[in-house]
Amino acid sequence: MLSPDYIVGLADGEGSFTVYVRNPKDSKERVRRVRAEPKFYIKLIEKDKAILFEIKKFFGCGNVYFQKDKRKNHQQCYRYEVAGRNDLRNIVIPFFKRHKLRLSSKTKDFKIFCQLMSMIQKENHLNQAGLEKMHELKQEMH
| pLDDT (mean) for 81-102 | 98
| Reported confidence tier of residue 24, pLDDT bands at 50, 70, 90 | confident
Q: Which residues contact 60 (CB under 8 A, 6 or more apart)?
A: 91
| Reported confidence tier of residue 49, pLDDT bands at 50, 70, 90 | very high
Q: Please state the pTM of the whole predicted model.
A: 0.89
- Asked if pLDDT for residue 29 goes beyond 70, the answer is no
Question: Is residue 42 a contact partner of residue 77, using CB atoms and an 8 Å limit?
Answer: no
Average pLDDT, the chain: 91
Question: Is residue 10 a contact partner of residue 106, using CB atoms and an 8 Å limit?
Answer: no
Domains belonging to the chain, first-starting first, are 4-138 (3.10.28.10)
